[in-house]
Structures are given as C-alpha cells and as structure tokens.
Structure 1
Amino acid sequence: MSGQNIDSLFKDDQISVITFSTREATFAIPLEQVKYIEKDVKRNINVGKLDRFNHEVITYQNNAVPLFDFSILTGSRSQFEENKELIAMLNDREKDHRDWMDALDSAIKNSTPFTKTTDPNKCAFGVWYNQFTTNDSDLKEVLDKFDEPHKRIHALAESLLNQAKKDQTQALTALEKERSTTLAELLRLFETARERVRNSDRPIIVFVEQNDNEIGALRLDNIQDIESFSRKDFSRDTSTEGIMKKNKTDFVIEGFLRNGDSAPCMLINCQPAN
C-alpha cells in the first residue's frame, strides 16, 4: 500500500484506532494499518547496535521484519525499565528493615545508642511509600497492607529499649518474637509486591502495514482500547513533528485526536505520504 495522507485515513469522516500509552502521553494507530497483535514472548532476535533507534528482528508469516521498541522511538521510559527500578528499590528497602532489626538487637544486647529512625514516615521506605501512586489496583492492594506492620516495626525501638532497661532478656525475647511475626509479615509483603510488579510487565507486539506493503512491528507496554473518532476530532500540531522524525522507520505523528473533554492522543501514521 502506498503512503496515506491524513485525509485518506478518515473513511466517511471516521477513523478507528487502537490506543496505548506511555507515562508521558497516549497514542493511537489506525486500525486499518494493524495486521496482527500478540504478546511479547521474546521470540525476537537482537541485532547489532545500529543507531539510537536500534531495532530487533521478529518473524511474521515466516518473514523477518524489524521490531522497534516504542519507548526508544519516543525517548520515553519503558514499563520494563520502570519495573526493574521499582524492584531494585523494594530490595533495598527490605534490606533496610532487616538491618534496622539487627541494629535494634545490637543496641539492646550492648546497651548502646540506637541511631536508626524510629519514625515510619522518615525512613527511606516511608518517604517513598507516602508519595507513591499507582493505577495498578493489585499492586495498590498489596502496598496498603504495608502500613500496619511497617509502623509496628518502627514502634519497637522505643518500647523494647525501655523494656531492656528493666529486663534485657525479656526485651531480646520480645524482639525475636517480632522477627518471626511482624518482620516476617513485612518481608512477605515485599516479596508479594515484587512479584506483582514482575507480573505487570506484559508488553505487546503490534504488527503494522507500512508503505510498499512492508510489515513492521512495534513493542508497546499496553493496549488500552479501540476507539472511533470523526474528522472534526483531529487537529494538527506542528510541535509533534520532531517526535520520531530522526529515525527512518516511517512512523509519523500526524497530530491529535480528541473526543470532547477527554485527554488527547497522538495519531501515528504507519504509512505516511512522501
């Protein structure tokens, strides 16, 4: 198929698109340009680094076609990268609380000052926890369960250090009980949260028809919906012309689609007219 200008994308002043998003924006691809959609099962092959728009190769109907990571094309962070960073952070914060309990144990045994924070809102995890938001309802459900055991952990310092002044043995016994209950619960929640983050990484491969009947593929973090827009819902925006223009993959942002007061999405033409 030869290139299509924006007018030819609308049939009877209507266009159907699949929508998807990055952290920065929502995008749309004309449904008529989509050939096939599948889960990313890592059957692609990495090729040598070509340029900053480095691509991989994947097969479609027994033919090798280029596979582009959409996050790289747009210079945004992929869900995989964000999840990897979040998991690393959860690992670090879990270690913090293991170390916190060890420090409390040492302070009780040796009658030395306890220097870790006793305020659950001021430790590194607490600061992150109080400001973090997510649209993942399953992850939010897990994170909500952190509140009680996390606060209880930090409250141990004052109560057990005071108890140790009267009876060190009882304080250490109580601490060991809290290790096997409250700390164990907190550690289970860290693992559950990490598992939920891992499971949320489900990229999608969309095969699209480009110019001259060529097939290309895009790796997306998600697909949101199939929507229809009228010609009056479209507006050009020259400020988008720099996005993806430097690569040679023939993916061009034509402008914006917007229904009423909903957030706009950027319309990608996989078959731009020359």
Structure 2
Amino acid sequence: MSELETTTYPWALFNLEQSVYGVSSQYIQSIFIIENLIRMPGMSDYMKGAVNLRGRIVPIIDTRKFYGLPTVEEEIAKLKMLMKTRKEDHINWLNELENSVLEKREFKLTTDPHACAFGKWYDHFETNDLTLNHLLKKFDAPHKQIHAVGVEVRNLVDKGEYDKASETINKAKNRELKKMINLFNSLCREYSDTKREVVIVLEDSTGSKEIGLTVDEVFAIEPIEEDRETTLDSVTHQSHESLFLGKRSKDGSPVFILDEQYFLNL
C-alpha cells in the first residue's frame, strides 16, 4: 500500500462495533446492503458466503469475525437475551411491589430508575448505531414512570392507605408496565429487522480479483492522515498484519486502516 500522504484518494470510513475503520476508495468497486447471500461449503470460518455481483461470484468476509469481534448475529442474540431478562426484571419488580403491599411488609427493591439492572446498563450503554439509539430513547420516560409508581405506593403504604396502593399497582400493570413490555418486545423485533450489514467490494487494479467485506455502516468519505506515532495496541485493537493506524483530519481521532491488498490476496 502506498503512503497515505502521497495519495489523493479519499477514504470510506465505516464502523465495526464501536470502532472506526477505513478503506481507500481507490479499491472500492461497489457498496451495497447484503442480500441473497450464497452459502458455500468448505470456506474459512470467517467467510460469510458469496454474492452474485453482475454475473461474478464474489466471496464475502465477515469482517467482524475476521477480527475476533462478535458477529452481527451474536450481537442481536445477546441484545435479545438482555432485553428479555430486563423485561422479566420489571414484571417481577411490580409483582414484588404488589406482594409487599398485600403482605404488609417492607419493599426492598429499588425505586431509583438509575439503580436497577436495566437503569445501570441504560445509563452507561454507548453505541454508534443510530437505529438502536432511537429505540432506546423511547425507554427513558416510561422507565422513570414505572419506578415512580414504587415511590407513590410506598408513600401510600406509609400513610396506611393499602387499598389505594393496590389500586395504583393495578393501574400500573395496565399502563406503565404494559408500555415497558411493549418497548422491550418492539426493540428486539425492530432492531433485528433493521440491522442489515453493508458490503464493501474491493477490486484490484486489473479487475481480476474481488473480495467483499461486511461492515456495520459506511458513514463518511473523507481524507485521513497516517499516524506514525500511535500503536494499534494503544488504542485497544490487537495488532494485525492487515491493519495500520490513521487519524481523521478533522479531529485526529483514530482510524483502523485496512490493507486492501491483504484481503485481495487471501
């Protein structure tokens, strides 16, 4: 690969998980959402399959798997399991609140929306995925509202108004809890439906070799600079012979640059 400072080609920047990667537009033949994937036996475990691109069979690398990252399928399955568990947490939370009123005993679970397992995760979770961010923002108000029910119920119990406390809980089951359950269910469904990988097809200068790389999203086309001072390991990416480090011209943030020839020669 030629030095970055000697080329005038811009770079396609894309996400894999939370990191930014780049590939020179000089080698990009096409970019498209992956569809009609052909499963082929005997391929390396990091190969996702192949696509028919204008009559040519192009092998597709699962770039996440190639670099030891969770695959998109694994990421979706993990999120679904997390949402299922957190949904059950809130069902059990309201049931325990109800039982504490009926049995006239102390409610020991948290009424702080930032202190429950979902709240702790929600407050600290970060993602570059715009769809997931949009879906998660819908939880903010309903999640605070359902925990506010706990505060209201405990205040009623402290006054000895157990019937009103039970009535408040029953209303919450049909309002706040129902809304939370719908949000957990819809997030899993909508995220799975919209999480479609993009393929960048690289082509060598002779047009005789092509290889596709799956990416989460191509978000920019811009010039970058080579970073000769920082090491890959210092920015939390394990060194790999197919990578070197660059930085975005606009803010100096790190970019993991792919060696196109490495992939074209696989």
TM-score, structure 1 normalization: 0.76
Q: 1:61 to 1:83 in 2, by over 3 A?
A: same
How many pairs align? 256
Matches within 5 A, 1:235-250: 235-236=227-228, 239=231, 243-245=239-241
- Runs (4 or more) in structure 1 with deviation over 6 Å come to none
Matches within 5 A, 1:156-235: 156-162=152-158, 165-168=160-163, 170-210=164-204, 213-229=208-224, 233-235=225-227
Deviation digits for residues 58-105 of structure 1 (CA, Å, limit 9, x no counterpart): 222333332111111222234553343233212211111111222222
1:35 aligns with 2:26: no
Q: 1:67 to 1:178 in 2, by over 3 A?
A: same
Compute the displacement of 1:109 (Å): 3.0
The residue type paired with residue 70 of structure 2 is R
Q: 1:166 to 1:239 in 2, by over 3 A?
A: closer
TM-score, structure 2 normalization: 0.78
Higher-Rg structure is: 1
Deviation digits for residues 188-222 of structure 1 (CA, Å, limit 9, x no counterpart): 33334434533552210111114872111111111
Per mean C-alpha deviation after superposition, the further-off stretch among 235-244 and 201-210 is 235-244
Aligned to 2:246: 256
Identical pairs, percent: 20
The runs of 5 or more residues in structure 2 that have no matched partner are none
- What root-mean-square deviation, in Å, do the aligned CA atoms of Structure 1 and Structure 2 show? 3.3
Compute the displacement of 1:42 (Å): 4.8
Matches within 5 A, 1:42-191: 42-45=36-39, 47-48=41-42, 50-51=44-45, 53-135=46-128, 136=130, 137-162=133-158, 165-168=160-163, 170-191=164-185
**1-side partners of 2:200 and 2:38: how far apart?**
13
